[in-house]
Every structure is written in C-alpha cells, then in structure tokens.
Structure 1
Amino acid sequence: MSFLDILAQPDTWQLVGVLCLGIFVQAAAGFAGGLVIVPLLLWAGYSIPEAQTSLLVATIPQNLWGVVSFRDALDSKRMVWPGAARLLFLPLGVLTLQWMESFSMVTLRQIVGVAVLLATLATILFRPKPRDQVAPFWSYLVFPLSGFLQGLVGMGGPPMVLWVQAHDWDTRRMRGFLFSMYLISLAPGIAVLVWFFGSRVIPPALIAAAAIPILLAVTWVGLKVGTALGTQRLRRITMALLLLMGLAGLAAPWLSPA
C-alpha cells in the first residue's frame, strides 16, 4: 500500500484528528498532550506503540520551538542527569510494553486509564511548596520513572512536571527545562519503538509527519485560546476531560463492543 493510499483511508484522518486535539490541549493548557492522545488512539483501535510513535513525531516541532524560544533560560549542566536517566530507563519501559502486548485490548485500555487517572489526580492533589533545591532522592526517583513511563505508555511528562513545580523557577525556566527533556528523548524514543515493534509503527509516524503543517496551525490556535480563556479555566476543563478519559479506560470491559 502506497503512502497516498494510506492518506485516503478514513482511519488516517481519525488519527490526525486525535493528534490535533492532543496538540491543541498541550498548546492551550500547557500540558496533557500525551494523556489525551494515547488513550483516545487506543479507543480508535491503534496499539500503544503506534500511538506513542505518532505522538512523538507530532510533538517534534513544538519541542524544537520551545527549546529555541527558552534557550536563554536553560542550564545545560542541570539537564545531564535527568536526560540520561530518562534515556536509560526508556528501553525498559518499551520492553515491558512488548510483554504487555499479549494482553487484550480491553485490559490495555484499563491500564492506560489507570495511568491517566493517577497522573491527573497527582497533578490535582500535589501542591509542592517551591524551593531553591529539592532533595536528590526525588531526582533519582522522578527521571528514571519518567523514562520508564514514556516507554511503557507514552506518558513520561507528569512526574517531571511535578518535580519542576517543586522548584522556585520562573515560567521560562520551567518550560525550557521540560521542552528540553522531551526533545532529548524524541529520536531515541522513536528509534527504540521501531527496533522493538518493527515496521507497523512506521505508517502512524509518517501520517503524523505529514500532518505537521496542520498541527502547527492547531498549536497557534491553541496558544490563542489559552491566552483568551486563561490558564486556570483551561486547567479545570482539561482535568475534567482527563478524569473522564481515565474512568472510561477503567470501564473498558463494559464500554468496549463484545
């Protein structure tokens, strides 16, 4: 099947639509792109590796833009351990995912639903007091966990977001750090997924790459909407959406067709 044949299929535009929604949420609310995209693509019939690969490709422009925009706020020395820890534990997550593929799609939807619920509840309930330094223990826990979760379900962002919020950094430094962590793991993440799961993850990646002009336009709209509605209002809407998606994942045995 040629790439033009792939583009002509309805499932292709379903994938593009989900990517647009996740990128819009990420641009408007500042987080949760992966938490939206991965579970929705599972409900659309894609596997977790396919969802992850398309997500990683779709976020390349946004993360490049973020690193370039906030480069003056970056501390390269502070990114060595976090970036290395994420990369070291990412293959372990993918290896676990390969084992999990023997599970039924219903069970996988439940697992992803639990991951979305835990990440959302942690974001809602965890309110660290910002400080200049955080105990090293948390770094040793957060970044390996982030890499593992990135490889497992494509949701490595929440632990890092909570870690960043525990620091008294300004917004530019926070966003620059997060964009850098995401960017560092993009190429290795795609490579590991292709290595473990082969050619079946290539079509979603190519579709995501072809959709990048559309996703850039969606990013621009999301930034405008985020500015107009305000961060707190969007945060509440996003959290409600994520809780609903997490609960839907848990209820997969009753919501999935027989």
Structure 2
Amino acid sequence: MDFAEVVSDPDTWKLVAVLSLGIFVQAAAGFAAGLLIVPLLLWAGYTIPEAQTSLLVATVPQNIWGVISFRDSLEGKRLIAPGAARLLFLPVGVLTLQWMESFSVMTLRQVVGAAVLLATIANLFFRPTPRKSVAAFWGFLAFPLSGFMQGLVGMGGPPMVLWVQAHDWDTRRSRGFLFSMYLISLAPGIAVLVWFFGARVIPPALIAGAAIPILLVVTWAGLRVGTALGTERLRRVTMALLLLMGLAGLAAPWLTPPT
C-alpha cells in the first residue's frame, strides 16, 4: 500500500481519530490515554498488539516533554528499581497476550472491558492517605503489576498512579516520576511487541508516528481545555466515560449484531 492509499484509507483516520481523543483526554484530565485508546481501537477492528504499539508511539512526545519539564523534581535512584520491575514483567504480559490471541474477538473485548472497569473503580474508590514513605510491599506489587498490565492490554498506568498517590509528593514530583516510568518503557515496549507479533504491528506504529504533529496540536488544545474547565470536572466526565466503556466491553457479545 503506497502513501496515497494509506491517506485515503478510512482505517487510517479511525486510528488517528482515536489516538487524538485519547491524547486530548490525557492532556486535559491528566490520565486515561491507554484506558480509552486500547478499547476504542479494539472496537474499531484493530488487535490489542496493534493498539498498544500505536499508543506507545503516540505518547513518545508527551512523555519526553514531561520528563524535560519536571527534570528538576526527579531523583535518578528512585527510578531504577520501579523501572526495572516494570521492564521485567512487561514481556510476561506480552507473552500472556500472545496466548490470549487464540480467544475470540468478543472475549478479548470483554477482557479489555474488565481491565478498564477495574482500573476505573480502583481510581474512584481507592484513595490512599498520602504519607512520607510507603511499605516496600506495595512497590513490589505495583510495578510488576504495572509492567504486566502494560504488556497484556497496554494499561500499565493505574497501579503506578495509585502508588504515587499514596506519597505526600507535590504535583511536579508526582508527574515527573510517572512521565519517567512511561518513558523508560516506551522503546522496550515497542521492541517486545514487534518481537512477539512481527510486521503486523508496524503499519499502525508508522501511522501514529506520522500523526504526531496532529497529536501535538491536540495536546496543546487539551491542556488549554483542562485549564479552562478544571481538572476535577474533567475527571468526573472521564470516569463516567470509562465506566461506560468498561461495561460496553463486558457486554460485547450482546451489543454486537450477529453476522
């Protein structure tokens, strides 16, 4: 398929539209890119590996910007163990995903819907009390789980976010840490997906890369909207949307007309 065919292909613009929506919400509300993008692309006809790869490529500029912006709040030593734990368990998640690809599309939609629903409910109801330090057990749980979920369904953020919320860190330190964790796993995540799933994940990744100028404009717009409307109001709207998407994923066999 040449460049003109790619540009004229409706699937190309489906992918760009979904990535734009996820990146916009991420910029405006501060979270939820993966929770939105992966299930929407699955409903649009893409596979989970294709959705994951395009998501990782699409978030490269945002994460680089985040690390540069908050570099003065980063502590290099605190990034090593969490980053290593995520990277260690990421291939385990991808290997499990490879096994899961034998499942039907409906079952995969239900798995992703359940993941979105659980992550949203945890974010809504689990509000840890911030403290200076957290027991090491929670780190041993959060970061391997984050790496596994990243490899499995492209949603590794929620365990890390909850771990960060349990600390009495200011906004700059919290966001800098999360951006660093995402950035550390981007290149290895893409490499592992290509290794396990081959050439079929490359076209969506290339389209996502070509769409980066659009996504930068979307990021700028999302930041402005988030500032104008307020993060908490957008958070409530986003949570409602995620709950709806999670329930839709679980109900996929009943929502999809028979062929």
Q: Structure 1-normalised TM-score?
A: 0.99
Q: Does 1:14 align with 2:10?
A: no
CA distance in 1, matches of 2:118, 2:254: 21
Q: CA deviation at 1:2?
A: 2.2
Partner of 2:240: 240
Partner of 2:38: 38
| Cα pair 1:7 1:207 within 8 Å, conserved | no
CA distance in 2, matches of 1:153, 1:255: 21
Q: CA deviation at 1:173?
A: 0.2
Match runs of 1:55-204 below 5 Å:
55-204=55-204
CA distance in 1, matches of 2:189, 2:2: 25
Q: CA deviation at 1:231?
A: 1.1
Question: What is the aligned-residue identity percentage?
Answer: 81
Q: CA deviation at 1:204?
A: 0.3
Counterpart residue type for residue 68 of structure 2: V
Q: CA deviation at 1:5?
A: 1.8
Residues 223-249 of structure 1, C-alpha deviations (whole Å, 9 max, x = no match): 000000001100100000000000000
Residues 136-171 of structure 1, C-alpha deviations (whole Å, 9 max, x = no match): 000001000000000000000000000000000000
Partner of 2:209: 209
Partner of 1:256: 256
Superposed CA RMSD? 0.6
- Ranges of 4+ aligned residues in structure 1 off by more than 6 Å: none
Residues 114-146 of structure 1, C-alpha deviations (whole Å, 9 max, x = no match): 000000000000110000000000000100000
Q: Structure 2-normalised TM-score?
A: 0.99
CA distance in 1, matches of 2:179, 2:7: 30
CA distance in 1, matches of 2:224, 2:29: 11
CA distance in 2, matches of 1:69, 1:225: 20
Q: CA deviation at 1:183?
A: 0.2
Q: CA deviation at 1:3?
A: 3.6
Secondary structure, counterpart of 1:167 in structure 2: coil
Counterpart residue type for residue 115 of structure 1: A
Q: CA deviation at 1:8?
A: 1.7
| Cα pair 1:71 1:176 within 8 Å, conserved | yes
Counterpart residue type for residue 146 of structure 1: S
Residues 31-73 of structure 1, C-alpha deviations (whole Å, 9 max, x = no match): 0000000000000000000000000000000000000000000
Q: CA deviation at 1:19?
A: 0.2
Partner of 1:24: 24
CA distance in 2, matches of 1:60, 1:3: 23
Instruction: Give the gaps of 5 or more residues in structure 2.
Output: none
| Cα pair 1:42 1:51 within 8 Å, conserved | yes
